Chains A and B, each alone.
Chain A
Amino acid sequence: MTTPYGHGSREAVIEARGLTKRYGEFVAADAVEFTVYRGDIFGFLGPNGAGKSTTIGMLLGLVAPSDGEVRLFGLPPAKQREGLARVGGIIEAPAFYPYLSGRDNLRALGHLRPGLSRERIDEVLETVQLAHAADRKFGKYSMGMKQRLGIAWTLLHDPELLILDEPTNGLDPAGMIEVRHLLLSLAEQGKTILISSHLLHEIEQVCDRLAVIQGGKIIAEGAIDELRAASTQIRIATSQPERAAELLTELDGVAAVRSGPEYLEVDAPDASSATINMALVSAGIPVDELRIHSATLEDAFLQLTANEQKVEVAA
Chain B
Amino acid sequence: MTAQVSTLQQVTARADNPAGTASLAALVRLEFQKLSKRLMTRVLFGMMALGIGGLIGLTYLIRSLSSDLSVAVEDYTFPQVLTNGFDVISFIGPILIIILAAAAAGSDYSWGTVRTIVGSGVSRSKALLAQFLTMAAAATAVTLTGLLSTIVASLIIGALEGQGLQTGWITGAALGDLGLMIVRSSFVMIFFGALGFVTAHVTRSVAAGIATGIGLMVLGPISLAIVGTLGEFGERIDQFLVTANTEVLHGNVAGAGAPGPWQAAATLGFYIATGFLLSLVLFQRRDISVD
Q: Shortest 9 CB-CB distances between A and B: which pairs?
A: A84-B121, A95-B112, A158-B15, A178-B1, A111-B30, A123-B11, A62-B288, A115-B16, A60-B119
B236 within 8 A of A: no
8 examples of A-B residue contacts, CB within 8 angstroms = A62-B119, A62-B288, A86-B19, A94-B116, A97-B111, A116-B18, A158-B12, A158-B17
Nearest residue in A to B122 (C-beta to C-beta)?
Answer: A112
Query: Do B288 and A63 touch across chains, with their CB atoms under 8 A apart?
Result: yes
A194 to B51, CA, bound (A): 53
Please tell me which stretch of B33-41, B165-173, B225-233 contacts chain A, meaning at least 4 of its Cβ atoms lie within 8 angstroms of it. B33-41
Q: Which residues of B contact A306 (CB under 8 A)?
A: none
Q: Which residues of A contact B111 (CB under 8 A)?
A: 95-98
B120 within 8 A of A: yes
A126 within 8 A of B: yes
B22 within 8 A of A: yes
B26 within 8 A of A: yes
A124 to B120, CA, bound (A): 17
Q: Which residues of B contact A85 (CB under 8 A)?
A: 18-21, 120-121
Q: Which residues of B contact A112 (CB under 8 A)?
A: 21-22, 26-27, 30, 117, 120, 122
A271 within 8 A of B: no
Contact with A along B77-88 (1 / 0, CB 8 A): 000000000000
Query: Do A107 and B33 touch across chains, with their CB atoms under 8 A apart?
Result: yes
Name A62's contact: one of B7, B12, B290 (CB within 8 Å): B290
B residues near A (Cβ < 8 Å) are 1-2, 4-5, 7-9, 11-12, 15-23, 26-27, 29-30, 33-34, 37-39, 111-123, 285, 287-288, 290-291
Query: Do A127 and B11 touch across chains, with their CB atoms under 8 A apart?
Result: yes
Q: Which residues of A contact B114 (CB under 8 A)?
A: 95
A182 within 8 A of B: yes
Q: Which residues of A contact B121 (CB under 8 A)?
A: 61, 80-85, 87
Query: Do A182 and B1 touch across chains, with their CB atoms under 8 A apart?
Result: yes
Highest count of chain B CB atoms <10 Å: which of A82, A84, A85, A155: A85
A92 to B123, CA, bound (A): 22
Name A181's contact: one of B1, B285, B287 (CB within 8 Å): B1
A100 to B113, CA, bound (A): 12
Query: Do A108 and B122 touch across chains, with their CB atoms under 8 A apart?
Result: no
Contact with B along A162-202 (1 / 0, CB 8 A): 00000000000000011101100110010000000000000
Nearest residue in A to B120 (C-beta to C-beta)?
Answer: A112
Q: A115-B18, A155-B12 are known contacts. Are A61 and B119 too (CB-CB below 8 A)?
A: yes
Query: Do A54 and B119 touch across chains, with their CB atoms under 8 A apart?
Result: no
Name B8's contact: one of A61, A96, A116, A185 (CB within 8 Å): A185
Q: Return A138 CB to nearest CB of chain B, in Å.
A: 9
Q: CB within 8 Å of B: which of A63-103?
A: 63-64, 80-87, 89-100
Q: Return B6 CB to nearest CB of chain A, in Å.
A: 9
A303 within 8 A of B: no
Q: Which residues of B contact A94 (CB under 8 A)?
A: 116
A186 to B9, CA, bound (A): 8
Query: Do B291 and A92 touch across chains, with their CB atoms under 8 A apart?
Result: yes
Q: Which residues of B contact A111 (CB under 8 A)?
A: 22, 26-27, 29-30, 33
Name B9's contact: one of A63, A104, A126, A185 (CB within 8 Å): A185
Q: Return B38 CB to nearest CB of chain A, in Å.
A: 6
A281 within 8 A of B: no
Q: Which residues of B contact A100 (CB under 8 A)?
A: 34, 37
A310 within 8 A of B: no
Nearest residue in B to A100 (C-beta to C-beta)?
Answer: B37
A128 within 8 A of B: yes
Query: Do B4 and A129 touch across chains, with their CB atoms under 8 A apart?
Result: yes
A18 within 8 A of B: no
Name A91's contact: one of B26, B33, B115 (CB within 8 Å): B115
A231 within 8 A of B: no
Q: A99-B37, A108-B30, A115-B18 are known contacts. Are A62 and B115 too (CB-CB below 8 A)?
A: yes
Q: A87-B121, A109-B30, A111-B30 are known contacts. Are A62 and B287 too (CB-CB below 8 A)?
A: yes
A247 to B266, CA, bound (A): 85
Q: Which residues of A contact B117 (CB under 8 A)?
A: 109, 112
A153 within 8 A of B: yes
A210 to B7, CA, bound (A): 29
Q: Which residues of A contact B113 (CB under 8 A)?
A: 95-97
Q: Which residues of B contact A63 (CB under 8 A)?
A: 287-288, 290
A120 within 8 A of B: yes
Query: Do A89 and B16 touch across chains, with their CB atoms under 8 A apart?
Result: no
Q: Return B41 CB to nearest CB of chain A, in Å.
A: 10
A24 within 8 A of B: no
Q: A61-B121, A111-B26, A178-B1 are known contacts. Are A126 and B7 too (CB-CB below 8 A)?
A: yes
Q: Which residues of B contact A97 (CB under 8 A)?
A: 34, 111, 113
Q: A96-B113, A99-B39, A181-B1 are known contacts. Are A57 and B18 too (CB-CB below 8 A)?
A: no
A114 within 8 A of B: yes
Q: A95-B116, A178-B2 are known contacts. Are A57 and B11 too (CB-CB below 8 A)?
A: no
Query: Do B112 and A92 touch across chains, with their CB atoms under 8 A apart?
Result: yes
